[in-house]
Structure 1
Amino acid sequence: MARTYLDFERPIAELDKQVEELLTSESESAPAVAELRQKSENQLKALYNSIGPWEKTQVARHPARPHYSDFVEALVSDYTPLSGDRKFGDDHALLGGLGKIRGQSVVVMGHEKGTDTETRLKHNFGMANPEGYRKAVRLMDLAERFSIPVVSFVDTAGAFPGRGAEERGQAEAIARSIDRGLSLRVPFVSVITGEGGSGGAVAIATADSVMMLEHSIYSVISPEGCASILWRDGARAQDAAKAMKITAQDLKKLGVIDQIIKEPVGGAHRDTHVAVKTVGAAIVKNLKDLSALSPDELIKRRRDKFLNIGRALIE
């Protein structure tokens, strides 16, 4: 499968192209190939050590980045998908079910963007309707009833803003999902794996431990949307990305998230196996740490944590 390079990765693309040309030529030179590969690796590492918020936004949106289905397939055994909100229908942008992570029973849910045109349309590009968030509430109710921890994977540009979604109570569904996360009497761990966009992300991220992959983003609005509102110019998205403090590194300093999960050099899309494995290890550790807390302690700690975010920013 051909690799998709981002705009700022063009120097790397040129080096990799030279390697491919050498490998397919009759005059292939092993030392030359090895030298070019090493040069490409060194430049990739240097490049990703210095990328800014806008470049991270591009990485977070990379089509080959691991999605919910990838995490479930690699980390969750005995997975049983659960469908529907018992009110309207089933939403394919927000999936969930029951399974086990290293022997620990969990309720798992998350946004699914899809991997090609057909699946992206099926999953609505990861933008959930109200029934998706009502399904999330149903899953959290189930987890509490049977004392099972909840794990969520966040990757959405935001909740679907269509007319039908608004008519069916999008804002109310998101608010109830946020409230249900805050009131859960079981451990709740959330991982922002790509885009964490607006209320559509927060709806399943009011967790005891909120983690972000190193090159993911988390914001109240997209950089393009912010630029259109502030400057009436969507082309200034790069300026907006910098001003909004949307990177994992900025959000960790602000106390909005709890942990940054390191990605393979060049982003999670370059080695999804390693990225998924690292995420799995972080989830297991956090669930183990949270298992020592009582339900009342979990609720108090979680509520205090989210209230303190606002206080810290004001101060």
Structure 2
Amino acid sequence: MATHYLEFEKPIAELEAKIAELSQLAPSSGDFEAEIDTLKAKASALRVETYDNLDPWMRTQVARHPQRPHFINYIDGLFTDFEELHGDRQFGDDQAILGGVARFRGQGVVIMGHEKGHDTQTRLKHNFGMARPEGYRKAVRLMDMAERFGLPVLSFVDTAGAYPGLGAEERGQAEAIARSTERGLTLGVPYIATVTGEGGSGGAIAIAAANRVMMLEHSIYSVISPEGAAGILWRDGSRAKDAAMAMRITGPDLLELKIVDRVIGEPLGGAHTAPEAAINAVGDAIEDELKTLSALSPDQIRAQRADRFYAIGRFG
């Protein structure tokens, strides 16, 4: 797959294009090896400098990168014996949220997550990761099953927000999101949520009302998208960058505000540059958190989760 460069990566793209051009000439002439090495060093240094100085709007672009690992990639990379469960037993099966039972490094778990799709066909199938009410009712069904069988719940958040269409509203979108959030808060089993890309609005929190909320280094987590905030504040969606700069939606800010509990490092250039390494890093973080939570009783798990959310916004 061809590399997709973001707007702020254009200087890196130009250097790497020059390297590729000279590399094609190198077999017929040995005159370019030194220049290729010099350009590679420049490109590497520029990438380090760029990613050491990302602003919130740049991180938003990385979080939305089309080649970033999606939930199906985490299923393949971290879990075995996955059995997908379909439907909410009320209306239908929403493919924006996938879930089922699986084994995580030998341990039985229930998993669920937003799936955006990777091309036109799959994006339409999964509705770009924007779930309808039946998706959140499926999530409640999965959490009920997890509690019944004493299985930890692992969720993977990557959505711009819940689907705002007329049909979704007619079928009770707000109620479904509220019920899913409520069920997460009342679970008596360990619940770990990881924001792997975008974590937008109630569509995200509905499957992130967890004991531990983690996020990847270049993911974002916010009450509304930067475009939505710009539209409300200035009636101008083109000012999304200004909104992103002001909203404190990135890992370091959210860690300081105690919105998230852990930020997981990504490979240089973002998770899409080395997906296997990024996926394994998420798996290691989940394993670490599960060890701590598994020692708690159901009542202790509920109390810890309640304390975590009550602490948000509390100032001494």
Candidates 30, 38, 41, aligned match of 1:38: 41
In 2, Cα distance between equivalents of 1:59 and 1:190: 20
In 2, Cα distance between equivalents of 1:101 and 1:233: 45
| Corresponding residue number in structure 2 for 1:11 | 11
The residue correspondences of 1:285-300 to structure 2 (distance < 5 A) are 285-300=288-303
TM-score, length basis structure 1: 0.98
User: Does 1:70 pair with 2:73?
Assistant: yes
Aligned-partner SS, 2:157:
strand
How far has the Cα of 1:27 moved from its partner?
3.1
Letter in 1 for 2:298: P
Candidates 196, 205, 209, aligned match of 1:202: 205
Letter in 1 for 2:97: L
How far has the Cα of 1:35 moved from its partner?
2.4
User: Does 1:157 pair with 2:197?
Assistant: no
| Corresponding residue number in structure 2 for 1:96 | 99
How far has the Cα of 1:289 moved from its partner?
1.1
In 2, Cα distance between equivalents of 1:274 and 1:199: 29
User: Does 1:125 pair with 2:128?
Assistant: yes
User: Does 1:21 pair with 2:21?
Assistant: yes
How far has the Cα of 1:101 moved from its partner?
0.9
| Corresponding residue number in structure 2 for 1:253 | 256
TM-score, length basis structure 2: 0.97
**Partner deviation per Cα, 1:58-112 (whole Å, 9 max, x = no partner):** 0000000000000000100011111000010000000001101110111000000
In 2, Cα distance between equivalents of 1:146 and 1:30: 61
How far has the Cα of 1:33 moved from its partner?
2.1
Aligned-partner SS, 1:11:
helix
RMSD: 0.9
| Corresponding residue number in structure 1 for 2:305 | 302
**Partner deviation per Cα, 1:250-270 (whole Å, 9 max, x = no partner):** 100101000000000011111
| Corresponding residue number in structure 1 for 2:235 | 232
Spell out structure 1 runs of 4+ moving beyond 6 A.
none
| Corresponding residue number in structure 2 for 1:81 | 84
**Partner deviation per Cα, 1:189-217 (whole Å, 9 max, x = no partner):** 01000000000000000111100000000
| Corresponding residue number in structure 1 for 2:119 | 116
Is the contact made by 2:59 and 2:220 (CA closer than 8 Å) also made in structure 1? Answer: yes
In 2, Cα distance between equivalents of 1:104 and 1:27: 56
The residue correspondences of 1:148-187 to structure 2 (distance < 5 A) are 148-187=151-190
Aligned-partner SS, 1:131:
helix
How far has the Cα of 1:242 moved from its partner?
1.2
Aligned-partner SS, 1:309:
coil
Is the contact made by 2:257 and 2:313 (CA closer than 8 Å) also made in structure 1? Answer: no
In 1, Cα distance between equivalents of 2:210 and 2:61: 26
Aligned-partner SS, 1:107:
strand
How far has the Cα of 1:42 moved from its partner?
1.3
User: What is the aligned residue count?
Assistant: 313
In 2, Cα distance between equivalents of 1:271 and 1:188: 27
Candidates 141, 144, 149, aligned match of 1:141: 144
Letter in 2 for 1:130: P
How far has the Cα of 1:236 moved from its partner?
1.1
In 1, Cα distance between equivalents of 2:275 and 2:115: 16
Letter in 2 for 1:260: V
In 1, Cα distance between equivalents of 2:34 and 2:194: 42
Letter in 2 for 1:124: N
How far has the Cα of 1:31 moved from its partner?
3.0
Aligned-partner SS, 1:227:
helix
Identity over aligned pairs, percent: 61
Candidates 272, 276, 280, aligned match of 1:273: 276
In 2, Cα distance between equivalents of 1:250 and 1:121: 33
Is the contact made by 2:94 and 2:134 (CA closer than 8 Å) also made in structure 1? Answer: yes
| Corresponding residue number in structure 2 for 1:188 | 191
Aligned-partner SS, 2:169:
helix
How far has the Cα of 1:292 moved from its partner?
0.7
Task: Point out where structure 2 has 5 or more consecutive residues left out of the alignment.
Answer: none
**Partner deviation per Cα, 1:257-296 (whole Å, 9 max, x = no partner):** 0000000001111111110011111011111111011110
